[in-house]
Amino acid sequence: MMCTFCCAAVLSMTVDLACAQTLYFYPPPYKLETKTLPSPQTISVEQITTQFPSIAQMSGVVLLVYWSTLCPTDVCDYSLIDQTLNYWREKGKQVVLAVATIGYPIFSAVRIATGLMAEDNPRIGPWEAW
């Protein structure tokens, strides 16, 4: 049986390695000066490379990045993806790439439910301006 686990790297957990043929970990939460982001998103290269715990049994990491992080304006910068792929390739690990187009889903649902729409954040939801 093939078992795949995606876990937050900061959680301590026991995993049956006989079943766990592939283990992918999210990076630890990104810490700002005054708070920690409540999301598995990747903000910096260091967060998912040099600051990432070394776990011998892991198959790789999950790189969850927002489209607005890659393309904050009309100019896109994919160096976060390139540097992450290069770092883990050198270590013989895989990277699961997830590019979120609308942000952390729970925040999007809250914005829709409370009526905070395009005027407050034009990058959330399908709007005519897109």
The answer on pLDDT for 78 being more than 50 is yes
What per-residue confidence (pLDDT) applies to 4? 44
Asked whether residue 125 is assigned to any structural domain, the reply reads: no
As given in the structure block, the two tokens for residue 89 are: 């390739």
pLDDT classification of 106: cutoffs 50, 70, 90: very low
Give me the percent of the chain exceeding a pLDDT of 90.
28
| pLDDT over threshold 90, residue 36 | no
**Alpha-carbon distances of 4 from 10, 40, 51, 62, 128, rounded to whole Å:** 18, 18, 23, 12, 39
What per-residue confidence (pLDDT) applies to 18? 59
Q: How high does pLDDT run on average in the chain?
A: 74
Q: In total, how many domains does the chain have?
A: 1
Beta bridge partner(s), residue 100? 66
User: What DSSP line would sit under 59-107, residue for residue?
Assistant: -EEEEEEEHHHH-SSSS---HHHHHHHHHHHHTT-EEEEEEESS--HHH
Q: Is residue 127 part of a domain?
A: no
Asked whether residue 59 is assigned to any structural domain, the reply reads yes
Name the one residue in this structure whose structure tokens are 């967060």. Answer: 47
Q: Per the domain annotation, does 57 fall within a domain?
A: yes
Measure the CA–CA gap between 93 and 87, rounded to whole angstroms: 9
Q: Is 119 contained in some domain?
A: no
Q: Which residue has the higher pLDDT, 8 or 40?
A: 40
Whole domain around residue 69: which residue ranges?
Answer: 3-114
pLDDT per position as a tens digit, 115-130 = 554 455 544 444 444 3
Tell me, yes or no, whether 20 lies in a domain: yes
pLDDT at residue 14 in the model: 55
Residue 124 is assigned to a structural domain of this protein: no
For the segment 107-116, what is each residue's pLDDT rounded down to a tens digit? 545 555 555 5
